[in-house]
A and B are shown apart, each in its own frame.
Chain A
């Protein structure tokens, strides 16, 4: 080990630090994501925008039980339903999801017995007004369509 005074004069610590810095200059190790141009692939389980799923015939999977509305800590889900007099089953009419209060905890999708509501991988949810964050059934079934700017 070099004596401390010699280390001081020869600026050893400085060069040791610089060695680490220059090791990281390799262009192979670029970590910056060029966000709007290249979109990140989020994980499969990512909890983003909610979606009300439909089966292959285009019929909604939701059976209007309201378990999601009960499970939601912020009580931001409103399920509207009407009882079909022929089949004696509830049928979904409206479904409102207030995204402005949602904290994406995923308790609605945990509670859903028919896997109808799901938090998807869509994450671009910025809007120009708060009213646009209150999603109705139409919006929840179609999903958001963020504008993509080509650069």
Chain B
């Protein structure tokens, strides 16, 4: 045992969370510290565990649909889309083109809403108070469209297996296009506030670097992967719900640090607007619900579908034994898997960087704990 001198500090173990405001929910991080330096982290999850996958086994296929909104509650529409696509694959159901286009519009609107919430809270963690008010102001507009369409803002239950429950309301296209026109200048406004801001750049550049190789090793997906330079987006790679018809780009950066992830997400919001515009302008007429039995009894078998949720690759693995209830539903949430990289990203950094890295990973604890 070496003799401790006045300047030496021993290893200190500190709890961050589960009530810490910048852990974005109920994440508990056990930090091993040497002074201000982080030697290692340990994530404790499960404070929000509700056993959603087990609940699925006691519900019918259609009844489980509203529960998936509670996974990533910031982007509930994406969850519903992934679950519906998985069940539709299982029962081999063709979704009408109009339903597909409306699904794309709502998912992209929700992606914008999710990214706005991320930007606001991330900036708040870094110490910029203003963007959170601006972001929530615009997010409100996107939520209003969702509320008018399906009657709820957060836990939307917007889609049904086989298509949609609701026809679009009167003036839906006008509202969505008005949102697009209003929103693009606002993104420039956020960038004006943050992109060149010296404090912002200083706090984010070269913080939480994750190279492309490391991303692949950890299975990290979404904007975190794209900021490391990997052009991987499931909307392009394995198109679903008619994404192959829309013309959009996959924004990528090369450094893989927190600042690049910020830039990638800002570009993604612009691309989402581009997709929404194309989808609204080419919105086909026709039925909105495919042929689905009233009491759904899929043939015995299994299906896996993954989509590009705002946080990364969201997958649903559903198994049917031929009865009216799922045999097993397994969720592959992007947040849970992206969180694994936290230890790698903050190793040797400062405590303040841990806050920045948790913010940039964009985790939602409803999805991590399920």
Contacts and interface: CB of A to CB of B under 8 A. Distances in A.
Contact of A24 (B66, B134, B148, B152): B134
B193 A42 contact: no
A127 interface: no
Contacts of A19: 192
A43 B148 contact: yes
Contacts, number: 60
A20 interface: yes
B147 A43 contact: yes
B197 A13 contact: yes
Contact of A44 (B140, B148, B192): B148
Contacts of A104: 152, 155
B198 A45 contact: no
A5 to B, nearest CB: 12
Interface stretch (A79-87, A90-98, A105-113, A141-149): A105-113
Nearest to B134: A24
Interface string B118-152: 00000000000010001001001000100111111
A8 interface: yes
Contacts of B197: 13-14, 17
A45 B62 CA distance: 20
B59 interface: yes
A107 B137 contact: no
Interface string A26-68: 0000010000000000111111000000000000000000000
B213 interface: no
Contact of A17 (B59, B140, B150, B193): B193
Interface residues of A, number: 26
Interface in B334-351: none
- Could you say which interface size class chain B belongs to? 20 to 34
B147 A42 contact: yes
Contact of A106 (B63, B148, B151): B151
Contacts of A46: 147, 151-152
B40 to A, nearest CB: 35
A119 interface: yes
Contacts of A43: 144, 147-148, 151
Interface string B265-278: 00000000000000
Interface in B131-190: 134, 137, 140, 144, 147-152, 155, 157, 165-166, 169, 189
- Residue of B65, B137, B157 contacting most chain A CB atoms (<10 Å): B157
B169 A44 contact: yes
19 contacts: A21-B130, A31-B137, A31-B140, A42-B147, A43-B144, A43-B147, A44-B148, A44-B169, A45-B147, A45-B150, A45-B151, A45-B169, A73-B59, A73-B67, A105-B65, A105-B155, A106-B151, A107-B62, A119-B151
Given A42-B147, A46-B147, 8 more contacts: A13-B196, A20-B192, A43-B144, A45-B147, A103-B155, A104-B155, A107-B66, A110-B165
Interface of B: 59, 62-67, 130, 134, 137, 140, 144, 147-152, 155, 157, 165-166, 169, 189, 192-193, 196-198
